Amino acid sequence: MSRKFFGTDGIRGRTNEVPMTAEMAQRVGQAAGAHFVRGDHRHRVVIGKDTRLSGYMMESALISGFTSVGMDVVMVGPVPTPAVAMLTRSMRADLGVMISASHNPYDDNGIKLFGPDGYKLSDVTEAEIERRLEDEPKLASPAEIGRARKIEDARGRYIHFAKSTFPEQLRLDGLKIVVDCANGAAYQVAPSALWELGADVVTIGVSPNGFNINDGCGSTSPALLQARVVEEGAHIGIALDGDADRVIIVDERGRIIDGDQLMALIGISWATRGILRGDGIVATIMSNLGLERFLASRDLRLIRTKVGDRYVLETMRSQGYNVGGEQSGHIILSDHATTGDGLVAALQVLASLVDSGKSASELLHLFDPLPQLLRNVRFARGQPLETNPVKAAIAHGEARLSGRGRLVIRKSGTEPLIRVMAEGEDEKLVSEVVDQICEAVKAAA
């Protein structure tokens, strides 16, 4: 069954437009609640959110939906996505919900669902919930309507969890760290966790107002962090996104370290410590060929999946890997978490920094990435990738790159975009191939 509302990371869209309306949120609560109401125990759902203005509306609508089918609701307020996953498990909840559009601007929002094990729902389960959206909900009797309550210590619980992933024998004393929380969900927990571990913390993006999430800050806009790290003479910078499930690092020179370099560092570090499982890491088709070659030089493998951290995690679980992620900074460390966790990944990097005694620039630039170019082409209608001219342009590009690089063309799972990516040893050739395919897509769209 094809999915109408669920994309690669839950349901997402512009607020007050289908599917991101209060009515839809209520229906999702009823459909997901009905799917997970099993057995005779009191059923519970944990709901967290980021700092978007629309979070209040979506939260209220979801609460209405869940309670109407007999589920109790626990509200945890603004917390990172991985905190919701962790709390869902620790509170023995039947379901977890994160209201967030991740790195998107404030006028978007989204709904991410987690099962009782803290993992994102499978495609099959999401398809079943979509099917239920078409059905009339089976409402609870007046006596069985769910209750809603808020817990005040959710952030403290998550801080304690995040710190527990940092080696006990290490501290961050003497490290000056600039952390950019994107005016998002981690605006309190990330600076607090770093400070409690001993760091001298300089903060950016910790004054959310409902509108400024990801606005010129965070992992998708790191220029402010780059400048501040150099200005402060800091040892390292950490940039999270709106829901803090991804991280980008900036070294002391102000240079960006992406998820590929971070996965390489953590993979090698864990291999040296004898705790890396599977003799390799899992990444998506978007990760740089340089990462694959670097790992091969260390007798480690790179297993590729389609784009989406959920697919990385599915492969990790089925094939026994414990390190994986995406170039964008979604890093999944399954020994610690059931989803991407920007703060936990950053703490692993900081542990290596402290343990090695090296500077960030020495430690984190492990390989030279091959020239890689990604461009997005917006389309309004149809299926551009199914047209003959686009197919011909793609085939021509693949032929030109054969043996010298690779080409990845895909439709975005969250926006009406065709993503065209090429990489190879010849930067000029890469650019030409991407340009030709983009022009073909534009003509077809």
What is the DSSP-derived secondary structure letter of residue 386? G
**pTM score > 0.85 for this model?**
yes
Which domain CATH number covers 225?
3.40.120.10
Residue 403: the pLDDT is 81
Does 308 lie in the same domain as 246?
no
For 411-431, the DSSP string reads: E-SSSSEEEEEEEES-HHHHH
Q: Is the pLDDT of residue 374 over 90?
A: yes
- Domain of 178? 157-252
> Is residue 27 within a helix (H) or strand (E), and if so which, with residue range?
helix 22-36
Does 134 lie in the same domain as 18?
yes
Residue 2: the pLDDT is 59
pLDDT in tens, 248-266: 999 999 999 999 999 999 9
Task: Give 282's pLDDT tier (boundaries 50, 70, 90).
Answer: very high
Contact 408, 414 (CB under 8 A): no
Q: Rounded CA gap, 18 and 344, in Å?
A: 34
Provide the annotated active-site residues.
Answer: 102
Does 167 lie in the same domain as 112?
no
Domain count, the chain: 4
Which domain CATH number covers 431?
3.30.310.50
Q: Is the pLDDT of residue 1 over 60?
A: no
382-404 average pLDDT score = 92
Ramachandran category for residue 62: left, alpha or beta (phi over 0 → left; psi -120 to 50 → alpha): alpha
320-339 average pLDDT score = 96
Contact 62, 47 (CB under 8 A): yes
Does 197 lie in the same domain as 132?
no
* Domain membership flag for residue 1: no
Q: How many helices (H) and strands (E) does the chain have?
A: 14, 19
User: Comparing C-alpha atoms, which of 401, 439, 402 is closest to residue 420?
Assistant: 439
Contacts of 148 (CB under 8 A, 6+ apart): 63, 67, 72, 73, 74, 75
